[in-house]
Amino acid sequence: MSKRTALITGASRGIGKACAEVLSLAGYRLVLTARSIEKLQEVASEIAGNGGEVFPLELDLSTRDMIPDAISRAIKEFGRIDILVNNAGMTKDGLAVRMKPSDWQAVLDTNLSGAFYATQQVLPGMMRERWGRVVNISSVVGEMGNPGQANYVASKAGLIGLTKSLAQELGSRNITVNAVAPGFIETDMTHGLTPELKQKMIDQTPLRRIGTPQDVAAAVKFLVSEEAGFITGHVLDVNGGIYM
């Protein structure tokens, strides 16, 4: 059997980039997507330099019309997509009472609808192969809520519901669908938080540290593996124990 191919969205930095590095070292072929093709190309050439097989693909997930065409280019490149990691995500924080419709919509479009439409594109191939893995990157706040993030939290809670529904729909085709719910992870997304807020989060975390992108990538690597074949509809917390 040829190498399995994984498509990772939002792979130009942070958690998506770490997933790409870890899965490449584990022997998977990769399709990496993001809006900034230059950054993706940098990640792709690092991975190729370490012997990986990788295809960088520009894709704005908030633009639904772009998704089918981009993913069919990826399928043409490698023949099939066996694994989809719906990782791309963004925040546009603000109190609900004043939240602009455009900020609500942008976050829902990218984080939730983007993941759904990308999944739709890879499912027919996975169903034909009777093998597939979908991992949705949710968030601890999708489980517990967070003031000032109504749009983001709704998108991340939506991903958990999507995960469980798809797991039930696709189990008979041997396709597993799981979510990973990271806690506070050191990436561009959390870079702007004040030192005081970071310290507060660390103090509330039983493991007393901020998570790394590699902590999340390790969970993704497990869920997409052959060995995780009897796990579906699960939400795997990678949060240092801040929520259990």
Q: Which of 65, 188, 196, 226 binds ligand NAP (CB under 6 A)?
A: 188
Q: Which of 182, 215, 232, 240 binds ligand NAP (CB under 6 A)?
A: 182
Alpha-carbon distance 113 to 121, whole Å?
Answer: 13
Is there a catalytic annotation at residue 28? no
For β-strands 132-137 and 29-34, DSSP reports them as unpaired
Of residues 102-131, those binding ligand NAP (CB under 6 A): 110
Nearer to ligand NAP, 86 or 232 (CB): 86
Q: Which of 34, 67, 122, 126 binds ligand NAP (CB under 6 A)?
A: 34
Nearer to ligand NAP, 110 or 151 (CB): 110
How near is the Cβ of 68 to ligand NAP at its closest, in Å? 15
Quick check: 163 binds ligand NAP (CB under 6 A)? no
Long-range contacts of 195-201 (CB under 8 A, 24+ apart): 201/242
- What is the binding site for ligand NAP (CB under 6 A)? 9-16, 34-36, 39, 59-62, 87-90, 110, 137, 139, 182, 184-185, 187-190
- Annotated active-site positions, please? 152
